[in-house]
Each structure stands twice: as structure tokens, then as C-alpha cells.
């Protein structure tokens, strides 16, 4: 419990989504009682009118902006214009109107996709502007990166307290397992479980050489809420584990955990995405005392178990 949340009205955009559900749980655990969760069907934040209506209805003291149009490499390649426009318009309008409405604090969630394609490893926040993002998700990454520019500009000109956090790739129970739009971990879990039953092989994109850093969604939520309480600075802050794993090793680990013993085929006609991702997480520890807690294989086991328990309803939707 924290006195920080007493009497504060908090709006969590995307609060009904994957990461949002964990953030809302963490807020409640710490004593936040007045939490407003706008649903897209009621407030399409790409539309200016919906942003104004949200602020009128919620009257927030704090906004945690998680809402985003997201997907894996395939979805980014198919719909780059949507990913750019939707994410830019949601964020820019919401932050601007939040400032106009006297919101006390705005927490913007960026993306590791904002980093340049060939960022030195581990990624340090000061390297954010040293090159262009990896091409397959650059439109999304740049749209989210503009929130950092906006946060710093509004802080400089208006004294607006907007902070910017950069989480690593997230995973965990309640993730999106739709093969069209899912990220790598849920997509692999679903493919390997299906192939175990129906026979292989499992075909995966690229050559398996890229590395990624994966952060358990519950840990990410804790970091976001901790930063909301304790961090009021202009600098972007990485949120991650500081550990990387190759896509090939990830595939082998998931195959082993679900009991798949067939072949894994790498389709090298498909893109690898960014060559490596590993964050320097020292700033989060220094600025608001946060470190990731969940060991990767423990988080992976929880995610697989959740998928197996909810598989019928997931695949019924698909």
C-alpha cells in the first residue's frame, strides 16, 4: 500500500489489454481506488473528440498511457501506415489535452522498437537518437518515440510532468495468442503445442540468430507504477531484465517445455528483425529503485500453463 494513490483519480488507457490488466492489478494492490479504464468501443483515442470526452468523464489526476496498436513483424509489415497514424494520433492528442486539462502527471510508455537498428549492446537511453530504427517496425517505433519528444518539449515550455518509459519485449499469462498479430513468445507457444498434437515441422521466421530481451508483464507493471510514484525526470528510462536470448534458443526452450520433439525449420526468406536487443537497466534502479524479479523460465512456464488452460476459448476466438 502507498499513500501516494490516496484520493488520486487515475486513468489507464489500454487498461483492459494485456499489460494494462497487470498495471491495474498493481495499482489496486498499492491502494489506488479511483481507476478509470476507457474501452476502445467507447473512446477511440485516435479521434480528438473521444480524447476530450475521456478527460471530461474521467477528470484524471494521473494518466498512464498504455493504449497502442501493436503486433509482431508480420503485422508491422502489413499495416505500417495504421501503426504509425494510430499510435501517433492517440499519444500526441492525449498528452496535449492532458496538459490543457491540468493533469498532474502523464506516464508515456514507449517501445524498444524506437532504438536504432544497430544500437551498441546493451542499449543505453542516450543512444536512442543515434540512427534509424529497424525497418520492419520503424513506423510504429517512431510514432511512439514522438511521445518522448513531446514529453520533453511540454516539460520545458509548460512545466508539464510527463515521463517516458521504454519496456523490453513483454510476455506472460493473458498475452495475445492470435497468430496474425501476436509477438514471438505466444506465437511460438501456440505453434509448438499445435505441432505436438498434429505433427511437425514448425516453421519459424528468419534464421534464429537475433537476440531479444523478454520482460514478464507483472514485472513491467510494477516498474510502471513505481516510476509513476517516484520518478519525475525528463530522461527516458529503460525497463527490462538486462538479459538476452537468441530466437533459436527461445524456440528450443519452448519446444522442450511443451514436449515437442519434431523438426524446427527456419524460413530465411522472412526477415529477422533487429539483430540484437538487450537493455542497460541501470537507470531504472538508480532513479526509482526498480529491478525485474521473475526468472525467464519461470515466467515462460506460467505463460505456457495459462495458454494450455485457456486454449479452447483462445482458439475459438481465432
Residues ≥6 apart with Cβ < 8 Å to 42 = none
If you count them, how many residues does the chain have?
A: 318
Q: Alpha-carbon distance 23 to 5, whole Å?
A: 14
pLDDT digits (tens, 9 = 90+) for 56-96: 999 999 999 999 998 877 888 899 999 999 999 999 999 99
Is pTM beyond 0.85? Reply is: yes
CA distances from 259 to 9, 156, 250, 252 (A): 47, 54, 14, 10
Q: Alpha-carbon distance 292 to 242, whole Å?
A: 9
By the 8 A CB rule, do 27 and 68 touch? Answer: no
Q: Alpha-carbon distance 233 to 66, whole Å?
A: 19
Catalytic residue among 43, 115, 140, 216: 140
Q: What is the pLDDT of residue 317?
A: 66
Beta bridge partners of 204: 266
Q: What is the pLDDT of residue 73?
A: 78
Q: How far is CA 129 from the centre of its chain?
A: 20
Could you confirm whether 154 is annotated as catalytic? no
Q: Where are the domains of the chain?
A: 3-174+213-244+275-294
Angle at 30 between CA 25 and CA 34, to 5 degrees: 75
b/e 169-192 (16+ beta carbons within 10 angstroms → b): bbbbbbbbbbeebbbbbbbbbbbb
Q: Among 76-80, 212-216, 260-264, which stretch is predicted with the lowest mean pLDDT?
A: 76-80
Mean pLDDT of 122-131: 97
CATH assignment of 3-174+213-244+275-294, among 3.40.50.2300, 3.40.50.720, 3.40.640.10, 3.40.50.620: 3.40.50.720
When pLDDT is cut at 50, 70 and 90, the band that residue 316 belongs to is: confident
DSSP annotation of 241 reads -
Q: What is the pLDDT of residue 46?
A: 98
State yes or no: pLDDT of 318 exceeds 70.
Answer: no
Amino acid at each position: 500500500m502507498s499513500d501516494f494513490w490516496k484520493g488520486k483519480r487515475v486513468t489507464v488507457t489500454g487498461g483492459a489489454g494485456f499489460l494494462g490488466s497487470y498495471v491495474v492489478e498493481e495499482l489496486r494492490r498499492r491502494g489506488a481506488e479511483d481507476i478509470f479504464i476507457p474501452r476502445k468501443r467507447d473512446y477511440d483515442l485516435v479521434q480528438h473528440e473521444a480524447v476530450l470526452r475521456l478527460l471530461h468523464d474521467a477528470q484524471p489526476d494521473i494518466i498512464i498511457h498504455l493504449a497502442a496498436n501493436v503486433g509482431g513483424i508480420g503485422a508491422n509489415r502489413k499495416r505500417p501506415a495504421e501503426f504509425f497514424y494510430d499510435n501517433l494520433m492517440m499519444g500526441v492528442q492525449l498528452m496535449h489535452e492532458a496538459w490543457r486539462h491540468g493533469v498532474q502527471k502523464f506516464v508515456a510508455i514507449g517501445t524498444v522498437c524506437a532504438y536504432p537498428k544497430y544500437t551498441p549492446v546493451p542499449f543505453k537511453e542516450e543512444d536512442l537518437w543515434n540512427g534509424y530504427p529497424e525497418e520492419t517496425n520503424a513506423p510504429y517505433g517512431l510514432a511512439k518515440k514522438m511521445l518522448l519528444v513531446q514529453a520533453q518539449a511540454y516539460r520545458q515550455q509548460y512545466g508539464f510532468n510527463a515521463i517516458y518509459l521504454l519496456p523490453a519485449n513483454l510476455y506472460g499469462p493473458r498475452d495475445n495468442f492470435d497468430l496474425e498479430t501476436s509477438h514471438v513468445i505466444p506465437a511460438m507457444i501456440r505453434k509448438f503445442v499445435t505441432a505436438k498434437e498434429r505433427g511437425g515441422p514448425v516453421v519459424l521466421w528468419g534464421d534464429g540468430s537475433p537476440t531479444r530481451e523478454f520482460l514478464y508483464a507483472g514485472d513491467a507493471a510494477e516498474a510502471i507504477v513505481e516510476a509513476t510514484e517516484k520518478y519525475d525526470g525528463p530522461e527516458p528510462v529503460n525497463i527490462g531484465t538486462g538479459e538476452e536470448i537468441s530466437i533459436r534458443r527461445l524456440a528450443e526452450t519452448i519446444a522442450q517445455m511443451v514436449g515437442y520433439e519434431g523438426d524446427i525449420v527456419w524460413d530465411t526468406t522472412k526477415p529477422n528483425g533487429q539483430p540484437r536487443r538487450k537493455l542497460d537497466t541501470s537507470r531504472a534502479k538508480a532513479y526509482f529503485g526498480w529491478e525485474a524479479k521473475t526468472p525467464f523460465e519461470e515466467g515462460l512456464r506460467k505463460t505456457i500453463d495459462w495458454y494450455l488452460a485457456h486454449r479452447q476459448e483462445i482458439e475459438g476466438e481465432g
